[in-house]
Amino acid sequence: MNNKWAYSYQEGDGKNKQLLGGKGANLCEITQIGLNVPPGFVISTDACLNYLAQPEHQLPEGVMAQTREQMAMLETATGKRFGSATDPLLVSVRSGSAMSMPGMMDTILNLGLNSQTLMGLIAHTRNERFGYDSYRRFIQLFGKVALGVPDELFDEQFDAVKKNVGAESDVGLQAADLKDISERFLAVVRHHTGRPFPEDPYEQLEIAIKAVFNSWSGKRAVDYRREFHITSDMANGTAVNVVTMVFGNMGNDCATGVGFTRNPATGENMLYGEYLTNAQGEDVVAGIRTPKPLQEMAQEMPSLYTQLLDLRNKLERHYCEIQDFEFTIEKGVLYCLQTRNGKMNASAMVRTSVEMAHEGLISEEQALLRVNPQHLEQMLYPRLDPKFKGTPLATGLPASPGAASGQVVFDADRAEALGKQGLKVILVREETKPEDIHGFFAAQGILTSRGGKTSHAAVVARGMGKPCVAGAEGIHVEVQLRKAFVGGTVIKEGDVITLDGTSGSIYLGAVPKVEADFSDELITLLGWADKAARLKVMANADTPNDAARALKYGAMGIGLCRTERMFNAAERLPIVIDMIVADTAEQRQAALDKLLPIQRADFKEVFKTMSPRPVTVRLLDPPIHEFLPSEQQLVDELEQLRHLRLSVQGMEVLVETAKLLAGSNGEPLPSSVHELGDTRLVDSVITRKEQILKKVRALREVNPMLGHRGVRLGITFPEIYTMQIRAVLEAAADCTKAGIPVSPEIMVPQVCTAEELKHVKKLVQSVHQQVEATFGVKVSYQFGSMMEVVRACMRAESLAAEAEFFSFGTNDLTQATFSFSREDAENKFLPMYNEREILQDNPFEVLDVKGVGRLMGLAVGWGRSTHPTLKVGICGEHGGHPASIRFCDEIGLNYVSCSGPRVPIARLAAAHAQILLGKEKAVTDKAV
Ligand code: ADP
Ligand code: MG
Ligand code: MG
C-alpha cells in the first residue's frame, strides 16, 4: 500500500480542510506564504477514519513509517534530535478537524521528554526551571489525554506543593518545586495506571496520535457535533498535527498569547487580544494568571509588538477575513501557531465586512455574503447585556425575539391604563385572545404560560416586534388573584420582571439591556443589498404605527394590511358587533356608516406614511364570529347578570324605602343610588348579551377556517366590502387632492374562482366611479387576489385575467395543501413527524418547497400565461425566512412581504438569493 497519510506544512494543500483539518490546512497555508510557523506536519483525517473503522482501532499501515520520515525532516530543519540526551527535539501533538470545535478534542505539549531527554534539555538551555516546568506539563497532559488519568489527581499535587512553598501562582515556583511536582506526577501516573510512565519517545508519539484520533469519537466531541448540527459532510474525522515545540516558558523574555486581527465584540479595526509572559499553551485561556491586553506589549516588548502587528497585517491581507490566531514568543522570536476565521457577534460582523469593503480588501458582494441574514436578528432587537450572568426564574418558548422589562399586569385593560400613565408593563396571561390586543399595544413584552410558537400571543407579538415568551409551563397564572406562582416564588401585580424572547428566559427584576443597534454600517450594507437584490421587500403592517416602523426598517411598501386589526381596537369593537348582530340591512348599514370614517382615517394615515410606496389592503378575512365573545363566556356572564338583577331588585326595595325616608326629610337622593337601583340598566345589558349569544349560536360553524369567511363574506354581505373599498378609495382621493402621491392596492382573500373576483371587482369599479366623481380627482389603484386556496392556484390563468397581482398566503395555502389544520398539526403530530423524519421541517415555519412551493411555481407560470406582467408576491411568515426568500426569487416572484422587524433580514436574504443564483448560473453556463 502506498497511501499518503502525512503531509509536511511545506507540501499540504491549504485549501483542503476536509483532509487536513482547519488547523492543519491553515498552518500549511501560512507556512507556504512565509509566515514564521515552527516546522511540523499533518496526519490526515483519512488516517483517523481508517483507524476508527478498525475493530481494534489500529493505525493503518504506513502511518508510523511516514511519521518517522516526517520527524526526520523536523530534525533536519531544527538541528535537534527526537530522543536525544543532549539537545532533544520536542513536539506538540494536536487535534484539528474541518470544523472548529473549541476545547472538544485534545492536544499534548512537550512530547519527547523522559528522564534522559529532560537532562539534555536542561543542559542545553542551562535552565533547570524551564526543564522541569515543561516536564510537569507534559506528564500532566499526556497522563490526562493519552492515559486517562483524572486531572484532579494532578491538580491536588500541584496545589499541595504550591501551598508547601507558599507560592501564589506557578511563577512563584522554583526549579526544585517543579522537580518535586514532576516526581509526584510520575507517581500519580504509576499509581493510577499500574505502570510506569512511557519513556520511549516514539512509543509516546504513537500513543498520543491514537489518543487524538480517539478524541474524535469521545462523548464530548460527539455531543458537541450533535448540538451544533455538524454533519459528516461538514467534518469527518480529526487530523493530527505534529509541531516542533517553541517555548513561551523559557523566561521573562518569552510569552504566549491569542489575538484577533480586529475587535470581535465591536468590530473596531484594531489588534485585540491577551498574552502572558513566561507561560505555555493554554495558560492564557485557562486563567491560571490574569493575562495582559496585547497593547501592553508595546511597552514591555516593543520590537516584538511590531512583529505582532506585522503578523496581524499579513494574516488579514492574505485571508481578507478577521483572523483569530495563537502565537508564542521564544527568546525574542515570534511564531504563529494557529489561525482561523474569527467568530463575531452580528454587529461586529456587519461593521468589519463593510469596513473591509471600504478598505478594498473585499468586494461589496463578498461583504454581503459574509453576513448571515438570520444573524441580523441579534442587532434588530434590544437584548440582555451579554455581561449579565443571572439565573432565570423560569423559561418558556422563545416566541418573539428581543428583551424587555416592566411591571407585571394580568389583563389587557390594566396594561392599557398603566401604559397610558407612561409605565412600562409586561402582560402576563395564561394565553391571549384577539380582544387582548390593546394590552399588546401598551405592553413592552408578553408572557404566557400556555401555547406554542404559533399561539395568538406569539404571532401577534412577532408582528409588532415585541418580545414574547410563550408556554412557560413552570408559571402558574391566577388572573383573579392578580398573582403568578413559580415554584415557591410569588409574582404580584406591579413586580418587575424581564423577558428574553430570544432565549425564552424570564428573570425577576430589571436586567440591564443593550439597545437594538441600527448602525451606519448596517444601513450601508442594506443599501448594497437593495442594489444586488431583484425581489422587493414589503412589510406586513396593519396600523399607521406599524407602517411608520416598517419604513424605518426599509420596507419598500406594505404587502399586507389586515383590516381586521383595525376593527379590534377597544372603542371600535362595539360598532363592529352592532354590524354583526344587526337583524336588518338598515341596522347593518348604520353600523357601517360609523365604521367608514374610522377606516378611512386609518388608511389615510397609512398611505401618507408610506407615500408614494404601494399599500396592499386586504378586505375583511376572518369569520365574523371571531369578533364576538365565545358562547361559554356569554353564558357565564348572563348567569352572573341574572343573579345581579335579583339583588338589584332587592336593592330597589331598599331604594324605595330610602326614597320614602328621604322624602320625609325633603332631601334629594344621590343620583348614583338612583342609577344603581334602576333595573332597566341591567335589563338592557342582558338583552344585548342575549342578542349576541343568539348570533354566536347562529354563526357557529363546524369548521370556521373553511367556513363563512373571506370573499364569501364579501359576497353574502356586499355592504361590508363596499364600506371597506370606499374607505380605501376615499382615503386615496383625499391624499391625492392634498398632493400626496399614493398607490393603493385592494386585495381579496380566500378566492377560489374567477367569478368571485369578478363580483368584487364590480363593487370596486362602481365605488371608484362614485369616489372620482365626488372628489373630482383621478384615483389609481390595483386590484388583486390572495392565493391561499388550492383551487385558486389550479385556476391561476383565469384569475390572472381579473387581477393585476397575486399574493400567496402561504400559511393558509400550507394548511390547504397538506389538509392539516395548523394548531392541531403542531400540537399533536408534527413533532413526531419531524422526529421520525417523515417530514424534514415544520412546513408552517419552513416553506415546503417540494409541495406548496411547486404549486406556487405552477400558479405563477399559469397566471403569467394569460397576464404576462402579473405582479406576484408572498405574504405570511414564510416571507421573512431566508430559505423561503431564495425559493421565491427562483420562481420569479416580484416581492416578499414580512413583519416589519424582519424586513432587514429579508433585504439581505434577497441579495444573497440573487448573488448565489448568479453564481450558480455562471457555473452551469460554463458547463454548457
Ligand atoms: P486547541 O485547539 O484546544 O486550541 P491547540 O492544538 O491549538 O489546541 O493547542 C493548545 C495550546 O498549545 C495553544 O495555546 C497552542 O498555541 C499551544 N501549542 C500547540 N502547539 C505548540 C507548539 N508546538 N509550541 C508551543 N505551543 C504550542
Ligand atoms: Mg488552538
Ligand atoms: Mg389567509
The model's pLDDT over 448-460, given as tens digits with 9 standing for 90+, comes to: 998 877 778 887 8
**Cα distance between residue 457 and residue 448, in whole Å:** 7
Which of residues 647 and 78 earns the better pLDDT score? 78
Of all protein residues, whose CA lies closest to atom 27 belonging to ligand 1? Answer: 281
Residues 635, 766, single domain; the answer is no
Dump pLDDT digits (tens) for 139-158: 999 999 999 999 999 999 99
Whether residue 227 lies inside any domain: the answer is yes
| DSSP for 90-151, written as a single string | -EEEEEEESS--TTTS-EEEEET--HHHHHHHHHHHT-HHHHHHHHHHHHHHHHHHTT---H
Which of 100, 238, 338, 339 to mutate for ligand 1's pocket (most ligand atoms within 8 Å of CB)?
A: 338
What's the pLDDT score for residue 678?
64
Asked whether the predicted pLDDT for residue 589 surpasses 50, the reply is: yes
Question: Is the domain of 220 the same as that of 73?
Answer: yes
For residue 316, report the distance from its CA to the centre of ligand 2, in Å.
18
pLDDT at 666 over 50: no
Q: What is the pLDDT of residue 664?
A: 40
* Res 668: pLDDT: 47
Specify the DSSP class assigned to residue 482: T
Based on the fold, state whether residues 124 and 73 are members of the same structural domain.
yes
Q: Which pLDDT score, from 0 to 100, does residue 660 have?
A: 54
pLDDT at 656: 64
For residue 170, the 8-state DSSP code is G
Q: Atom 22 (ligand 1): residue with closest C-alpha?
A: 245
In this structure, the answer to whether residues 503 and 438 fall within a common structural domain is yes
Same-domain status, 409 and 399: yes
pLDDT of residue 78: 96
E strand residue ranges, 270-341: 272-277, 292-293, 323-330, 333-341
The letter for the amino acid at 444 is Q
**491 has pLDDT over 60:** yes
Q: Provide the phi-psi class of 870: left if phi over 0, else alpha when psi is between -120 and 50, else beta.
A: beta
Same domain, 32 and 150: yes
- Name the residue range of residue 396's domain: 382-514
Residues 86 and 26 in one domain: yes
495 in the same domain as 579: no
338 alpha carbon to ligand 2 midpoint, in Å? 6
Residue 244 CA, closest ligand 1 atom number: 23
d(CA 857, CA 150): 60
Residue 909 has pLDDT above 70, yes or no: yes
Q: What's the whole-number mean pLDDT along residues 845-849? A: 92
Total structural domains within the chain: 5
Sign (positive or negative) of CA dihedral 139, 143, 144, 146:
positive
- Predicted pLDDT at 663: 45
CA of residue 20 to ligand 2 center, whole Å: 15
Phi, psi at 117, each rounded to 5°: -65, -30
Classify residue 510: in a domain, yes or no. yes
pLDDT tens figures, 377-390: 888 888 899 889 89
Question: Would you call 881 exposed, middle or buried from its count of C-beta atoms within 10 A (0-12, 13-18, 19+)?
Answer: buried
pLDDT value at position 643? 84
Domain limit, last residue, from 446, 479, 514: 514
Judgement on whether residues 745 and 879 belong to the same structural domain of the protein: yes
Residue from 9, 20, 92 whose mutation best tests the ligand 1 pocket (most atoms within 8 A of CB): 92
CATH of the domain at 468: 3.50.30.10
pLDDT at 684: 84
Tell me the pLDDT tens digit for each residue of 359-374.
999 999 999 999 999 9
Confidence check: pLDDT of 784 > 80: yes
Q: Which domain CATH number covers 747? A: 3.20.20.60
- Ligand positioned closest to the Cα atom of 106: 1
Taking the CA of 103 as reference, the closest ligand is 1
Q: Which residues pair with 786 in a beta bridge?
A: 807
With 70 as the cut, is the pLDDT of residue 677 above it? no
pLDDT in tens, 176-210: 999 999 999 999 999 999 999 999 999 999 999 99
Distance from Cα 719 to the centre of ligand 1, integer Å: 76
Per residue, what are the HEC states of 41-92?
Answer: EEECHHHHHHHHHCCCCCCCCCHHHHHHHHHHHHHHHHCCEECCCCCEECEE
Q: Which of 514, 547, 563 is the last residue of a domain?
A: 514
CA atoms 79, 82, 87, 90: torsion sign: positive
Among 514, 544, 577, residue at a domain's last position: 514
Distance CA 401, CA 467 (A): 5
Nearest to 351 by CA among 271, 262, 261: 262
- 72 within a domain of the structure (yes/no): yes
Q: Is 610 a member of any domain?
A: yes
Q: What are the residue numbers of the active site?
A: 456, 875
Ligand nearest the Cα of residue 9 is 1
Ligand 1, pocket-test mutation among 23, 94, 141, most atoms within 8 A of CB:
94
Give pLDDT, residue 831. Answer: 86
**pLDDT value of position 523:** 96
**Ligand 3 center from residue 456 Cα (angstroms):** 15
Task: Clarify whether residues 884 and 905 are in a common domain.
Answer: no
Q: Are 472 and 485 in contact (CB under 8 A)?
A: no
Residue 611 placed within a domain: yes
**For residue 103, which atom of ligand 1 is closest to its CA?**
3
Ligand 1 pocket residues where CB is under 6 Å:
38, 92, 94, 103, 107, 109, 243-246, 281-282, 326, 328, 337-338
Is residue 197 domain-resident?
yes
Are both 494 and 357 inside the same structural domain? no
Q: In this structure, which residue's CA is closest to atom 6 in ligand 1?
A: 94
293 forms bridges with which residues in the sheet?
Answer: 274
> Is 320 within 8 Å of 362 (Cβ atoms)?
yes
Question: Bigger pLDDT: 139 or 584?
Answer: 139
**Residue linked to cell 482501532:** 57
Whether residue 337 is contained in a domain is answered as no
Co-location of 892 and 915 in the same domain: no
Which residue's C-alpha comes closest to atom 14 of ligand 1?
A: 281
Question: Mean pLDDT over all residues of the chain?
Answer: 91
Residue nearest to atom 11 of ligand 1 (CA): 281
Ligand nearest to the CA of 279: 1
* 559 lies in some domain: yes
| Omega cis (within 30) before 904 | no
- Residues in contact with 378: Cβ distance below 8 Å, sequence separation at least 6, in sequence order: 345, 346, 347, 502
Residues near 359 by beta carbon (within 8 Å), at least 6 away in sequence = none
**Ligand 3 midpoint to CA 891 (Å):** 21
